[in-house]
């Protein structure tokens, strides 16, 4: 008698099954953590693990580097005092609808003022910044004050502690332009450090890739709570 061969599973169907299993496991992890002890430190660890599992599902799992076609126009600047901060401000000033910010250090008065001006002219400003560097280790209080001012003005400000550090320095503007480089949004980056800023104007494909990265970190972040 001929043995019946198992039906072939299409890769897409297999991935969908895996996604359902991962989503279910993430939900179970959160439920166990909450029932176990809502006030325990373990809850935070379990919640982070669950959110990361869900994120892998939503993003399609780990992947290699992304290839994006060259498009638009590149503009570069450097610091100290070689136009880096001015280029960041130019990028912020160009926004008409939305700015998504990822930052490791955020305490620059000029960048804060530029983002406040964007909020006041109706631009949706969304931020995900490193939690440790801007809150728990912010001995000067400048980062918390800058984030508080933006929050109170109507910007959506969130902090992320899911990683050792959230070291991104990126802005995605209007779904078309990307500002990136080594430049932290700080006075030190402008006046004391050797830094670089690059803006890729009019490259929606690149903006989409960075927006997905922003969305991933957004899902792992928490709402910023100002002290006043």
Per-residue pLDDT tens digits for 48-106: 555 555 555 555 555 678 899 999 999 999 999 899 999 999 999 999 999 999 999 99
pLDDT (0 to 100) of residue 74? 98
Structure tokens at 119: 């909020």
Write out pLDDT tens, residues 174-197.
999 999 999 999 999 999 999 999
Mean pLDDT, to the nearest integer, of 44-51?
A: 54
Strand 73-79 vs strand 222-223: parallel, antiparallel, or unpaired? unpaired
Sequence spans of domains, the chain: 11-59, 73-223
Neighbours of 150 (CB within 10 A): 23
For 173, the enclosing helix (H) or strand (E) is strand 170-173
Active site residues: 167, 169, 174
The confidence score (pLDDT) of residue 64 equals 72
- The pLDDT, as a whole number, for residue 44 is 52
Token couple for 224: 């910023």
Record: fold of 73-223: Endonuclease; Chain A (3.30.870)
Query: What is the rounded distance in angstroms from the CA atom of residue 8 to the CA atom of residue 23?
Result: 24
Identify which has the larger pLDDT, 59 or 25. 25
Distant-in-sequence, close-in-space partners of 80: CB < 8 Å, separation ≥ 6 = 190, 191, 192, 193, 194, 195
Give the CA angle between residues 73, 75, 81 to the nearest 5°. Answer: 175
Dist CA 30 CA 36 (whole Å)? 10
Distance, CA of 160 to CA of 169 (rounded, Å) = 14
> What is the reported pLDDT for 226?
85
Confidence of residue 9 (pLDDT cuts 50, 70, 90): very low
Q: What is the mean pLDDT of the chain?
A: 84
Write a three-state SS string for 134-186: HHHCCCCCHHHHHHHHHHHHCCEEEEECCCCCCCCCEEEECCCEEEEECCCEC
Q: Structure pTM?
A: 0.75
Find which of 4-8, 24-28, 56-60, 150-154 is predicted with most confidence, using mean pLDDT: 150-154
């Amino acid at each position: 008698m001929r043995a019946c061969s198992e039906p072939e599973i299409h890769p897409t169907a297999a991935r969908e099954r895996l996604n359902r299993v991962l989503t279910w496991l993430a939900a179970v992890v959160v439920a166990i953590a909450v029932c176990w002890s809502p006030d325990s430190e373990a809850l935070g660890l379990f919640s982070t693990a669950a959110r990361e599992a869900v994120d892998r599902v939503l993003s399609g799992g780990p992947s290699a580097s992304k290839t994006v076609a060259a498009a638009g126009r590149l503009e570069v600047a450097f610091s100290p005092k070689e136009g880096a901060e001015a280029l960041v401000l130019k990028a912020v000033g160009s926004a008409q609808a939305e700015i998504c910010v990822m930052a490791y250090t955020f305490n620059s008065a000029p960048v804060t003022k530029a983002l406040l001006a964007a909020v006041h002219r109706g631009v949706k400003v969304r931020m995900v910044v490193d939690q440790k560097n801007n809150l728990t280790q912010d001995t000067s209080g400048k980062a918390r004050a800058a984030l508080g001012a933006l929050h109170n003005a109507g910007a959506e400000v969130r902090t992320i502690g899911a990683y050792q550090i959230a070291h991104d320095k990126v802005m995605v503007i209007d779904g078309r332009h990307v500002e990136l480089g080594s430049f932290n949004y700080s006075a030190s980056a402008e006046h004391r450090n050797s830094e670089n800023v690059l803006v890729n104007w009019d490259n929606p494909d690149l903006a989409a890739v960075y927006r997905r990265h922003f969305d991933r970190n957004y899902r792992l972040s928490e709402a910023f709570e100002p002290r006043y």
